[in-house]
Amino acid sequence: MADAALGSGWVVGGTWLRRRSVLAGLAIVTLFLVLALATPLLTSQDPTAIDAVRRLEGPSIEHPLGTDHLGRDLLSRLLYGSRWSLGTVAIATALIMSIGVAIGLLAGYFGGIVDEILMRVVDVLLALPSLLLALAIAGTLGPGIRNVMLALVSVWWATYARVVRGLVLALRERRFVEAARSLGARDRHIIVRHILRNVVPPVVVLATVEMGELILAIAGLDFLGLGAQPPTPEWGAMLNDGRPFLFTAPQLMIYPGLAISLLVIGFNLLGDGLRDALDPRDRARKE
């Protein structure tokens, strides 16, 4: 059974939960998740409603964080922005994982020419700076959040494919896989029932670690005007909109900047904790 437990330590005993940083990360991510889900309950303001008369106002009961350069409520834009940020990163991560895992499984399990071709593609992608490549693709495809996600997905999957391939190469030689094969199980059955289930946990950890980077990438491309288009309340775009007011109304940059930083820190803490908990050397030391 030890073979089958290659990636299952992440849930054993819940020791990682005791790590304060993981708890902090989990709390931050959960907070943003709750805020995103409960946004319509938390604010009645339309995040896109312009009121030129009330531009750049300070905090008030009606606008707890004040208004932006077009008189729009900052709090509602931040809250709706959390939906955009978490939504886009969730969709992008799901797509990246799907593609990366599928390609990693195929390359690792079948090997040979399939492995050669797929891994050379991965090598090419990993040899180039991910964000710059995504920037180039998004710039070519044209502005829009869909194109930004497409650009990121088309670049980011390579890391997952490489990691999954490595895991599969180790798994396919294990006794439980050989046993399944000797019992006449088909490749698809072995991949889905025996290999995939052992690959998923580390991939989830990888995704958690990478989410922070992905959020930054999405916010960065939005900042550059390639992602969400006006008047969408997206944090990266809000940062860019606030630049002319750096000295007169710094809150226009501070609030979305803080939101991005906090969420990224949350995912990083959570991911680091999960990775540490899964690290066999670390576990061995503790045992």
Partner 1 sequence: MRHGTTGMRIGHTSPRLLVRYLALALLAACGGRRDRGEDSATLRIAAPGDGYNTGPGSDVGIYAVNANVFETLVRLTSDYRVEPMLATRWEFRPPNSWRFHLRQGVRMHDGSAFDARAVEWTVRRIAKTDPRVLGVGDSSARVIDDSTVDITPTRPNRRLPEQLVHPNWSIVALGSDPAINAVGTGPFKLGEYVKGDHITVERFTDYWGAKAKLDRLIFRFVPDANTRALALRSGEARVAYDVPRADARELERTPGLTVTQSPVGSYEALYVNIHGRPPYDRGGDSSIRRAIAYGIDKRAIVESVWRGTAEPGQTLMPASMLGESASLVFGTEFDPGRSKGLLDDAGWRVGADGVRVKQGRRLSLTLVAGFPNAEIHKPMPEIVQAQLRVVGIEIRIVQVADAASYQARIRTGEGDLWAEAGGQNDANPCFLPDLLFYGGGPSIQRSAYARLFGPGPHFDLAIDTCRSALDLENVRKAAAAAMHILTDQDLVVIPLAGTRRVWGLSDRIAGFAPHPSSLNQRWETVWIR
What minimum distance in Å lies between the beta carbon of 144 and partner 1? 7
What is the rounded distance in angstroms from the CA atom of residue 1 to the CA atom of residue 137?
45
> Should residue 55 be labelled a site residue for partner 1 when binding is judged by CB under 8 A?
yes
Measured from the CB atom, is 21 or 232 closer to partner 1? 232
CA-based Rg of the chain, rounded to a whole angstrom? 22
How many residues in the shown chain lie near partner 1 by CB under 8 A?
Answer: 30
What is the rounded distance in angstroms from the CA atom of residue 54 to the CA atom of residue 72?
8
> Should residue 181 be labelled a site residue for partner 1 when binding is judged by CB under 8 A?
no
Please give the angle made by the CA atoms of 239, 242 and 247, to the nearest 5 degrees.
125
Q: How far is CA 100 from the centre of its chain?
A: 14
What minimum distance in Å lies between the beta carbon of 213 and partner 1? 15
What minimum distance in Å lies between the beta carbon of 263 and partner 1? 19
> Should residue 230 be labelled a site residue for partner 1 when binding is judged by CB under 8 A?
yes
What is the rounded distance in angstroms from the CA atom of residue 46 to the CA atom of residue 39?
11
106-112, Cβ contacts within 8 angstroms, sequence gap of 24 or more? 107/161, 107/165, 107/168, 108/164, 108/165, 108/166, 108/167, 108/168, 108/169, 108/171, 108/172, 109/168, 109/172, 109/187, 109/190, 109/191, 109/195, 110/187
Measured from the CB atom, is 51 or 279 closer to partner 1? 51
Measured from the CB atom, is 13 or 230 closer to partner 1? 230
> Should residue 143 be labelled a site residue for partner 1 when binding is judged by CB under 8 A?
yes
> Should residue 247 be labelled a site residue for partner 1 when binding is judged by CB under 8 A?
yes
Choice from 8, 15, 30, 229 touching partner 1 (CB under 8 A): 229
Which residue bears the tokens 């939504």?
87
What is the rounded distance in angstroms from the CA atom of residue 6 to the CA atom of residue 164?
13
What is the rounded distance in angstroms from the CA atom of residue 238 to the CA atom of residue 165?
39
Choice from 24, 185, 224, 265 touching partner 1 (CB under 8 A): 224
Q: What does the per-residue mask of binding to partner 1 show for 248-267, with x meaning CB under 8 A?
A: x-------------------
What minimum distance in Å lies between the beta carbon of 52 and partner 1? 4
Choice from 6, 31, 50, 136 touching partner 1 (CB under 8 A): 50
Locate all alpha helices (DSSP H) within 47-129, ordered by sequence.
Answer: 74-110, 112-127
Measured from the CB atom, is 246 or 258 closer to partner 1? 246
> Should residue 59 be labelled a site residue for partner 1 when binding is judged by CB under 8 A?
no
What minimum distance in Å lies between the beta carbon of 54 and partner 1? 11
Interaction site with partner 1 (CB under 8 A)? 48-50, 52, 55, 69-70, 131-132, 135, 139, 142-144, 220, 223-226, 229-231, 240-241, 243-248
